[in-house]
C-alpha cells in the first residue's frame, strides 16, 4: 500500500481553522474589537458596509504594532499574549490563541495600518487569502486601523451561506453590545453604510447599560454587589416589573469577557422566583472578577463559555446577592399606631409605588399583597390621610382648581388651590397622558390626512431598524405620517400628523425604535399602536422648564380631566398630587 498521509499546505490549514473562528461578519467584529481592547485602546471606531460582508473596518488608539509584529500578527499561533504554558492559567486578555488574524486573513482581503505611539512612521500590511501583498512603511495615526474586505471572497460556498443583511447586522450588534457593555471606560462608535448607529462616550457601567439598552431601562436598574475572597460581583439587575416577556437581555462578564452560562442564569432567575411571570426574563448585567487561575477559558474556541473550578460557590453567591437586591425592593408593611407614626410613615414611603408592567403600560398594583401599608393609610382617610395620591383605579378628584390662580414652580409642577387643598400637577406627565390618548383615539377613527412638509425629510435607518419600522408603517400612515421607503435604507418623510408638525422626526423614530426593541417580535405586533402613541407622547409633549401662562395651565388641566386615565402618565407615573387642608391644619397644629 502506498503512503497516503500528507501535511496540508498552510493556506488550506488556515482556511479550515478559519471555519472555527470566523463564522460570519460578527465573528470578525468580535475578534477585532477584542484585539483593540487588549491593545489598551480607549477609543474604538467601527465602520461597516453591507452588514460587514463588504467591509468591517476598526480603528483603535491602542498600542499599535512595530513593523515586525505587524507582519507576524497574521501568522498562525502568533500572539503577544502568552509565552509559556503556565501563562494559560493567568489569562487576563481577551485573546491568547493567536489565531484570529491568521484566520481572518485566510478568508478575506485585509488592509492594516498600524503605528507604535513612539514611532514616527507606521506600517502598512495588505494580506489576501493569507498571502502578504504588501508590507511597507506608511504615515498613519498611532494605534491600529484594520479593514477586512469581502469576507469569504475566496470561498463562495461560505459566502453564500451568510444570512440576509438584517440578520448578519443583528449578530454584529450583539457582539458590539457585549464588548461595549463590558468596557464602559472605553468610547465606541459604530457606523453602518455611513449612518451612525452608536456613539458611546466613555462613562460609568450604569450609564453604558442605558446607552446600549435604551433610556426605558434607566429607572429600572438596581445595583448588586458582593465581595468574597474567591470572587467579586457587581452590576445591575432590573426591577421585577421591568422583566420582559420572551427573550430578555442578560449579560455576564467574567474578568470583562462576555460569557454565556445557563447555569448562572438559572441562579439569577431563581432569585426572582414568584415575582415575575414564568415567561418573563429580567435584564441583568453582572461583572464577575475572579483570579484567572480559578477559571478555564480554553474550553470553547470562541470563548463564550468558561469553567469555574468551584461553580457551585459562584451559583450560591450569585443567587443570594440577587435575592437580597430583589427583596430590598419589596415594600414591607408599615406599622401605624399613632399620629407621629403616620407622618413618619408617609415621609418614609417612596412617592411612587412600584409599578407593574402590563404590556409596556405600567399601572399601580391592583392587588393588595405588596401594598398593605399604603392601603391602610388611605382606608382611614377621615382619621389621618393627609394627602391624596393618584392611582389607576381612582378617578381624578373633582377638585376644582381656582381658574384664575395657577402657579408654575420647579420646572414642571403646576399648583392651584382647590376647595380641598392644593392641587399639584406634573405638567410633563399630564401632557404625555393627553397626547397618548389623542393618538390612541385617532387610531380607531378614519385615517388622518397628513400635513405635507415643504421640504421632505430623508430619514436613514439600518436594515435592522427598517425591518422593525416596516411592521409599523401602516399604523404610522393611519395617524398621518406620510412615509415613502427608499430601498431598504430609509424613508422620505413627506408629511406629518397635523398636530405633530413640531415633532422632531429623527428623535421620534429613535424613541419608537427603542420602544420596539424592548419587546420581542410577538409582543410588538400586538402593541404597535401603543408604542407609537407612547413615542408620540414622549416626543411631542411639553418639556420640563417650559413656561406656561395661566390660561395654558388651566387648559392642560381641562384636557387631562377629559382623559380616560387621567391619574397616570402613559408610562405609569402619577400626574397629580393633592395636599389636603387636613394635612396643613395638622402640620400647623391648629
100: contact with Mg ion by CB under 5 A: yes
Residue with cell 469569504: 152
CB of 519 to ligand ADP, least distance (A): 37
Angle at 526 between CA 524 and CA 527, to 5 degrees: 60
Can you name the residues that pair with 226 across neighbouring β-strands? 233
Considering only residues 141 to 160 of the shown chain, the ones binding ligand ADP according to CB under 6 A are 144
Distance, CA of 400 to chain centre: 42
Cα gap 120→75, rounded to integer Å: 25
Choose one: 92-100, 399-407, 562-570, 576-584; the region binding ligand ADP (CB under 6 A). Answer: 92-100
R_g over Cα of the chain:
29
Angle at which helices 165-182 and 25-38 pack, to 10 degrees? 20
36: contact with ligand ADP by CB under 6 A: yes
Contact mark string toward ligand ADP, 46..85, x via CB under 6 A:
--------------x-xxxx-------x----xxxx----
Cα gap 108→403, rounded to integer Å: 72
99: contact with ligand ADP by CB under 6 A: yes
Please answer whether residues 33 and 313 qualify as being in contact, where contact means their C-beta atoms are separated by less than 8 angstroms: no
DSSP character at residue 355: P
Q: Which does 322 bind (CB under 5 to 8 A by kind): Mg ion, ligand ADP, none?
A: none
Q: Which does 97 bind (CB under 5 to 8 A by kind): Mg ion, ligand ADP, none?
A: ligand ADP
Torsion angle of the four alpha carbons 535, 536, 540, 544, in this order, in degrees rounded to the nearest 10: -40
Return the C-alpha cell found at 95.
485573546
Please answer whether residues 432 and 541 qualify as being in contact, where contact means their C-beta atoms are separated by less than 8 angstroms: yes
Q: What are phi and psi of 284, to 5 degrees?
A: -155, 155
122: contact with ligand ADP by CB under 6 A: no
35: contact with Mg ion by CB under 5 A: yes
CB of 14 to ligand ADP, least distance (A): 12
CB of 285 to ligand ADP, least distance (A): 24
SS (H, E, C) 85-118: HHHHHCCCCCCCCCCHHHHHHHCCEEEEEEECCC
Secondary structure (3-state) at 186: coil
Which is nearer to ligand ADP, 78 or 548 (by Cβ)? 78
Distance, CA of 72 to chain centre: 38
Contact mark string toward Mg ion, 389..418, x via CB under 5 A:
------------------------------
27: contact with Mg ion by CB under 5 A: no
Which is nearer to ligand ADP, 299 or 407 (by Cβ)? 299
Residues 6+ apart with CB under 8 A from 118: none
Q: How far is CA 223 from CA 218, 239, 329, 488, in A?
A: 12, 10, 11, 40
Q: Which does 319 bind (CB under 5 to 8 A by kind): Mg ion, ligand ADP, none?
A: none
Distance, CA of 381 to chain centre: 42
CB of 446 to Mg ion, least distance (A): 59
62: contact with Mg ion by CB under 5 A: no
Please answer whether residues 49 and 109 qualify as being in contact, where contact means their C-beta atoms are separated by less than 8 angstroms: no
Choose one: 10-18, 35-43, 333-341, 503-511; the region binding Mg ion (CB under 5 A). Answer: 35-43
35: contact with ligand ADP by CB under 6 A: yes
95: contact with Mg ion by CB under 5 A: yes
Which is nearer to Mg ion, 110 or 197 (by Cβ)? 110
CB of 143 to ligand ADP, least distance (A): 7
Residues 6+ apart with CB under 8 A from 93: 38, 81
98: contact with ligand ADP by CB under 6 A: yes
Q: How many residues bind ligand ADP (CB under 6 A)?
A: 24
Q: Which does 532 bind (CB under 5 to 8 A by kind): ligand ADP, Mg ion, none?
A: none
| Helix-strand-coil split of the chain, %, nearest 5 | 40, 25, 35
Nearest to 439 by CA among 348, 507, 530: 530
Which is nearer to ligand ADP, 97 or 546 (by Cβ)? 97
Residue with smallest beta-carbon separation from Mg ion: 95
Q: Which does 39 bind (CB under 5 to 8 A by kind): Mg ion, ligand ADP, none?
A: ligand ADP
CB of 411 to ligand ADP, least distance (A): 46
Choose one: 64-72, 100-108, 397-405, 545-553; the region binding Mg ion (CB under 5 A). Answer: 100-108
Nearest to 365 by CA among 503, 568, 165: 568
Please answer whether residues 553 and 408 qualify as being in contact, where contact means their C-beta atoms are separated by less than 8 angstroms: yes
186: contact with ligand ADP by CB under 6 A: no
Angle at which helices 528-540 and 505-518 pack, to 10 degrees? 140
Considering only residues 291 to 310 of the shown chain, the ones binding Mg ion according to CB under 5 A are none
Choose one: 51-59, 91-99, 314-322, 521-529; the region binding Mg ion (CB under 5 A). Answer: 91-99
Which is nearer to ligand ADP, 36 or 434 (by Cβ)? 36
Considering only residues 271 to 310 of the shown chain, the ones binding ligand ADP according to CB under 6 A are none
Give the footprint of ligand ADP on this chain (CB under 6 A): 31, 35-36, 38-39, 60, 62-65, 73, 78-81, 95-102, 144
Give the footprint of Mg ion on this chain (CB under 5 A): 35, 95, 100
Amino acid at each position: 500500500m502506498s503512503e497516503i498521509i500528507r501535511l496540508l499546505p498552510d493556506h488550506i490549514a488556515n482556511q479550515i481553522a478559519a471555519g472555527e473562528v470566523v463564522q460570519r461578519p460578527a465573528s470578525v467584529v468580535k475578534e477585532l474589537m477584542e484585539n483593540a481592547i487588549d491593545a489598551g485602546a480607549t477609543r474604538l471606531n467601527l465602520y461597516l458596509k453591507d452588514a460587514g460582508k463588504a467591509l468591517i473596518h476598526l480603528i483603535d488608539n491602542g498600542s499599535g504594532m512595530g513593523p515586525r509584529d505587524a507582519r507576524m500578527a497574521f501568522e498562525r499561533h502568533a500572539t503577544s499574549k502568552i509565552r509559556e504554558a503556565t501563562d494559560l492559567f493567568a489569562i487576563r486578555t481577551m485573546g491568547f490563541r493567536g489565531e484570529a488574524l491568521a484566520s481572518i486573513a485566510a478568508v478575506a482581503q485585509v488592509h492594516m495600518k498600524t503605528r507604535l505611539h513612539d514611532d514616527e512612521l507606521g506600517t502598512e500590511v495588505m494580506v489576501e487569502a493569507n498571502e502578504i501583498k504588501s508590507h511597507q512603511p506608511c504615515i498613519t495615526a498611532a494605534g491600529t486601523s484594520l479593514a477586512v474586505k469581502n469576507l469569504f471572497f475566496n470561498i463562495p460556498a461560505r459566502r453564500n451561506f451568510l444570512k440576509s443583511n438584517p440578520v448578519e447586522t443583528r449578530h454584529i450588534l450583539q457582539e458590539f453590545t457585549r464588548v461595549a457593555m463590558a468596557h464602559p471606560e472605553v468610547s465606541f462608535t459604530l457606523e453602518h453604510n455611513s449612518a451612525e448607529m452608536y456613539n458611546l462616550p466613555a462613562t460609568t457601567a450604569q450609564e453604558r447599560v442605558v446607552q446600549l439598552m435604551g433610556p426605558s431601562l434607566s429607572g429600572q436598574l438596581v445595583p448588586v454587589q458582593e465581595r468574597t475572597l474567591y470572587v467579586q460581583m457587581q452590576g445591575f439587575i432590573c426591577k421585577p416589573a421591568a422583566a420582559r416577556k420572551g427573550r430578555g437581555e442578560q449579560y455576564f462578564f467574567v474578568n470583562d469577557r462576555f460569557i454565556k452560562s445557563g447555569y448562572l442564569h438559572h441562579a439569577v432567575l431563581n432569585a426572582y422566583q414568584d415575582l415575575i411571570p414564568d415567561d418573563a426574563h429580567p435584564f441583568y448585567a453582572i461583572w464577575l472578577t475572579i483570579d484567572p487561575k480559578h477559571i478555564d477559558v480554553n474550553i470553547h474556541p470562541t470563548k463564550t463559555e468558561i469553567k469555574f473550578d468551584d461553580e457551585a460557590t459562584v451559583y450560591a453567591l450569585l443567587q443570594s446577592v440577587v435575592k437580597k437586591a430583589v427583596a430590598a425592593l419589596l415594600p414591607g408593611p408599615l406599622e401605624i399606631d399613632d399620629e407621629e407614626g403616620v407622618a413618619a410613615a408617609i415621609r418614609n414611603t417612596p412617592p411612587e409605588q412600584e409599578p407593574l408592567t402590563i404590556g409596556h403600560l405600567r399601572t399601580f398594583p391592583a392587588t393588595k399583597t405588596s401594598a398593605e401599608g399604603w392601603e391602610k393609610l388611605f382606608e382611614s382617610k377621615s382619621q389621618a390621610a393627609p394627602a391624596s395620591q393618584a392611582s389607576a383605579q381612582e378617578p381624578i378628584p373633582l377638585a376644582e382648581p381656582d381658574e384664575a390662580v395657577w402657579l408654575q414652580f420647579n420646572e414642571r409642577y403646576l399648583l392651584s388651590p382647590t376647595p380641598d387643598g392644593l392641587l399639584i400637577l406634573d405638567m410633563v406627565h399630564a401632557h404625555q397622558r393627553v397626547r397618548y390618548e389623542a393618538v390612541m383615539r385617532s387610531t380607531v377613527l378614519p385615517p388622518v390626512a397628513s400635513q405635507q412638509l415643504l421640504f421632505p425629510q430623508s430619514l436613514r435607518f439600518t436594515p435592522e431598524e427598517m425591518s422593525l419600522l416596516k411592521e409599523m408603517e401602516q399604523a404610522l400612515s393611519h395617524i398621518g405620517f406620510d412615509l415613502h421607503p427608499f430601498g431598504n435604507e430609509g424613508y422620505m418623510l413627506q408629511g406629518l400628523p397635523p398636530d405633530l408638525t413640531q415633532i422632531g422626526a429623527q428623535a421620534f423614530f429613535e424613541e419608537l425604535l427603542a420602544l420596539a426593541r424592548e419587546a420581542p417580535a410577538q409582543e410588538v405586533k400586538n402593541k404597535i399602536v401603543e408604542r407609537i402613541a407612547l413615542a408620540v407622547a414622549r416626543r411631542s409633549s411639553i418639556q420640563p422648564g417650559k413656561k406656561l401662562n395661566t390660561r395654558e395651565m388651566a387648559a392642560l388641566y381641562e384636557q387631562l380631566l377629559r382623559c380616560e386615565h387621567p391619574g397616570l402618565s402613559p408610562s405609569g407615573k402619577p400626574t397629580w398630587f393633592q395636599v389636603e387642608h387636613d394635612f396643613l391644619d395638622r402640620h400647623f397644629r391648629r
